[in-house]
Structure 1
Amino acid sequence: MTPSTPQRIAIVTRRFWPISGPTEHFIADLGDHFSGAGNHVRLFTSAWQKGWPTECSFREFDLRRLSRPSSGPWGTYRYQRALIRELDLFQPDAVLLFGSGEDLPPVRKLVGDSVPCVVRIDHRAVVRTNRTIQKNLRLNLADAVICDSLRTRNELVMRKTALPQRVELVSDGVTCRAEPERSLLQQANSRTALGDAHPILRIDPAQPLVVTGAPLNGDGGVCDLVRAWKIVLESFPKAKLWILGDGPRSRKVWDTISDHDMIYTAIMPGYFDDLDEIFQAADLYVHPMRGAVNCRCLLEAIANGVCPLVTDNSTESIAKRDPDGRRIGEMIEVQRDSTGIIAPPGNPVALGEAITMALRNSDKRLELGANAATQFRPAIDMARIGSVFLESLLGVRQPENASGASFS
């Protein structure tokens, strides 16, 4: 239960605005939710560039920037000393840390056992986590470890990085505004606004627009989409593909676009702080991943009523607890011809044919998008996700056998 009196909540992350990406957007929304619940929220992060203000307000919460952890051989030491000093001044009632728990040991030493410390970790952080026993076990200092996906949770448990009894699963949430109402007039107005914002986003009302914001990391699904786009252009030569975001595979994706001579029909405009206008302008959202990969952009598309076309038919959301007190993944499945369109993963030909079919049937797209929004919005709403985080922070439920738990 969330206490009735306002609490002082510290959020610690080494990357934040103006660095932009899905995690940074999620942190900002989470901070807004905590503040909206009447709590005093302060976010502690790094000043990656000279001239960034050290103190400011961001949306509904305070922001403090510290020295860069990578600035010289003593960078991490100076950063953590500054972090501890600022936290000591703030006197938090709860601490939420993003990353792989690298700042957890000094924070726990400062606040002791009386202040809940919760770590939010995603799969990228798991991959980066040092495999030494000393650094693996630091997550056991947390009262709870909240994973973004079932894949992340399973890998943490398999690698014995965290005690299974303390690992919970809560996916990213998105801000769900009013129920989406999609119309040709709204779509045309959004396209006009985007074109006015930048010429590269200019698109005529009659041109089909397909959008993806799938992670540009180790999964090759976005390259599959680019190859599939060649098939789409055979039926819709004026169609546009917008690939949002950035990542390690961005260059590979762009090279694939260039190799297929599609630089004028497939563009990579980068990150956007607000995607509502883009989704109002879009005809279809494609999640082309080869594996089960969570994607905040997919959730935002669904929340905005855009028809989803997915190549993996599930994403984890928050769920009930199992008998040991952990939250476990509840699968939200996109149902074929009910809440979306499903294509086989790793098959550009089948993906291209599925996109072509979807673009030919506007009424079906609108129906599927509306169904997906109605069914999934309650589970992915930031109001619900934020409440779950608040419960973990301000009312951590320890499993009954946590004190004597060990890995099996």
Structure 2
Amino acid sequence: MIAARLVCVTRRFWPLVGGAERFMGEFAVEAQRQGRSTRLLTARWEPSWPSTLTYRDVPVIRLRQLKARFIGTLVYMAALRRWLRRYQSSYDLVFVSLLKHDAVAAHWAVKSRRPLVLIAEGSGSTGDCAWQEQAVLGRWIRRICYRADAVIAPSREIQEELLQAGYPPKKIHYLPHGVKIPPERTPERRHQARQSLAALHPRFHLQPDEELAVFVGRLHPGKGLRELVEAWRLVVQRRPTVRLWLVGEGPMETELHRQIDTAGLHSRVVLAGSFDDVGEILQAADLFVFPSHREGMSLALLEAMAAGLPIVATDIPGNRALVQSGESALLVPVESPRDLAEAVIHIAENRELAQRLAQRARSVAVTQFSLEETVRRHLELFDDIYTQFMKNRQVR
């Protein structure tokens, strides 16, 4: 039996985009391309936002939420539960991002009426398992999440954390994220991408001799951005034509503005804002920098690999699951601006090394982490779960 009609749930969604949100959006689009009917439920974070929209042919429904933190969460949970109950006959399976409040509301709504699949995100102190251990009501939420029909672990590290947290082993499924595979980078595509971005805003204008490094992700303390800006002060001393764009949004934006100005880097480091699709930015870039302290499986890193960019990243388990130091990236110690700067300079000064690292990283992404294959494996799991669910229902 096929779970033909899917509802994807992610509390944060465009224009509030991080790795988890981008994956859920890409998943919904690709699942629809592969013949499934998909809808996406999210929160309406601003009253001025429309309550419905279409995201690349996928209907998006924004549910009521208030700005007050605790009350806003309760209002959103109630709205999510109400929608899932009201439209229960219109979907076969619910797919929820994060093991948090959304999962609880979805469980309350569907219970034994529809299968529920959760996907865990993040690892270590910033991951879902740590959140459930530390948050108010976190352990209670964890007990509710135990009851889902399946929990997807995008990385081996997350899989191990779920086991340690007591999730039933038979319900845990290791399924890595995947990304769209763009055309191979060429000087012509790089030039065209830079022209397109410069037309968007003057701050994106680059001189012909300027090299561009990019970071993509949430502007969050755990992403290592303080160290990255400090490293850039060292980079420009040796490579004054290298610029850095920080692509994303998050709570560190004001602090980073201040740090950039204090270091005199306002002409070298740009807070680029949030983009729905970072493909053009990656085509315009020469290097990808990813100094995160902890990661599960980073969608941003996968996208950089697929784009064929040389990569400098931190030596953490989540990154090592995707790239190998000296073979497909240069990995440096966490929270070490000097090592970060040296690695960036080393790649900038060694084109042969940069090309070799980029080619190997792209090859890994193409053969192991394509979005098409990733979504196919997810849908195969969903069909198995739906088939078993319907059999059990007939027995009852």
Give TM class, smaller chain: 0.7 to 0.9
Q: 1:131-154, CA deviations, whole angstroms, 9 ceiling, x for partnerless residues?
A: 644322011110111234344344
Provide the residue aligned with 1:372 in structure 2: 361
Q: Superposed, which structure 2 residues align to 1:6-405 within 5 Å?
A: 7-68=4-65, 78-87=75-84, 88-91=86-89, 92-113=91-112, 115-123=114-122, 124-129=127-132, 130=135, 132=137, 133-160=139-166, 162-178=167-183, 180-183=184-187, 185-219=188-222, 221-292=224-295, 294-312=297-315, 315=318, 331-336=321-326, 338-396=327-385
**Larger helix proportion of the pair:** 2
SS at 1:17's partner residue? Answer: coil
Separation (CA, whole Å) in 1 of partners of 2:144 and 2:370? 31
Asked if the contact 2:308–2:362 (Cα under 8 Å) also holds between the matched residues in 1, the reply is: yes
Give how far 1:282 is off: 1.1
How many angstroms apart in 2 are the aligned matches of 1:135 and 1:257?
A: 40
Letter paired with 2:6: I
- For the 8 Å contact 1:176–1:381, the answer to whether it is kept is yes
Structure 1 residues 12-31: Cα deviation after superposition (integer angstroms, max 9, x where no partner)? 22222233332222111110
Aligned-residue Cα RMSD (Å) equals 2.9
- Which secondary structure state, in structure 1, belongs to the residue aligned with residue 87 of structure 2? helix
The aligned amino acid for 1:334 is Q
- How far apart, in 2, do the equivalents of 1:300 and 1:131 lie? 34
Letter aligned with residue 140 of structure 2: Q
Distance 1:190 1:22, change over 3 A: same
Aligned-residue offset at 1:304: 0.8
Separation (CA, whole Å) in 1 of partners of 2:331 and 2:353: 14
The alpha-carbon distance between structure 1 residues 79 and 215, as it changes in their structure 2 partners (threshold 3 A), is closer
Partner of 1:298, secondary structure, is helix
TM-score of the two chains, using structure 2 as the length reference? 0.85
Q: Is the 8 A contact 2:77 2:101 kept in 1?
A: no
In the aligned structure 1, how far is the partner of 2:58 from the partner of 2:295? 34
User: In the TM superposition, what is the alpha-carbon distance from 1:367 to its structure 2 partner?
Assistant: 2.8
Aligned residue pairs, count: 379
For the 8 Å contact 1:94–1:394, the answer to whether it is kept is no
How far does the alpha carbon of each residue in 1:21-46 deviate from its partner, in whole angstroms, 9 at most, with x for none? Answer: 32222111110111112111122222
SS of equivalent residue, structure 1 residue 339: coil
Partners of 1:192 and 1:74 in 2: how far apart? Answer: 45
* Distance change in 2, residues 1:392/1:193 (3 Å): same
User: 2: CA distance between counterparts of 1:174 and 1:240?
Assistant: 26
Tell me the amino acid that sits aligned with residue 95 of structure 1: V
Cα separation, 2, equivalents of 1:260 and 1:301: 27
The aligned amino acid for 1:138 is I
Does the 8 Å contact 2:249/2:274 carry over to 1?
A: yes
Alpha carbons of 1:250 and 1:294: their partners in 2 closer, same or farther (altered >3 Å)? farther
Q: Is the 8 A contact 1:215 1:295 kept in 2?
A: no
Aligned 8 A contact 1:56 1:63 in 2: yes
Cα distance in 1 between the residues matched to 2:228 and 2:209 = 22
Greater shift, 143-152 or 64-73, is seen at 64-73
Identify which range, 66-75 or 279-288, moves more after superposition: 66-75
Q: Secondary structure at the match of 2:322?
A: strand
* CA distance, structure 2, for counterparts of residue 63 and residue 152 of structure 1: 28
Offset at residue 220 of structure 1 (A): 5.9
Residue segments in structure 1 that go unaligned for 5+ positions in a row = 317-329, 400-408
What TM-score, normalized by structure 1, do the two folds share? 0.83
Say if 1:367 and 1:74 are closer, same or farther in 2 by CA, change over 3 A.
closer
Aligned residue number for residue 403 of structure 1: none
Deviation at 1:57, TM superposition (A): 2.8
Relative to structure 1, the CA distance from residue 298 to residue 77 in structure 2 (aligned partners, 3 Å threshold; closer, same or farther) is closer
Change (3 A) 1:148 1:248: farther
**CA 1:398–1:250 in structure 2 vs 1: closer, same or farther (change >3 Å)?**
farther
Give percent identity, aligned residues only.
Answer: 26
Structure 1's 103 and 345: CA in aligned 2 closer, same or farther, altered over 3 A? closer
CA contact 2:296–2:318 (8 Å) conserved in 1: yes
The structure-2 alpha-carbon separation of the partners of 1:387 and 1:369, relative to structure 1 and needing over 3 Å to count, comes to same
Task: Spell out, residue by residue over 1:249-306, the C-alpha distance to the aligned partner (whole angstroms, 9 max, x if none).
Answer: 3344333323322111111112112222211221111122344554222211111111
Residues 105/217 of structure 1: CA separation in 2 closer, same or farther (3 Å cut)? closer
Asked whether the equivalents of residues 332 and 339 of structure 2 are also in contact (C-alpha less than 8 Å), the reply is yes
Does 102-111 or 143-152 show the bigger shift?
102-111
**Distance across 1 between alignment mates of 2:24 and 2:329:** 28
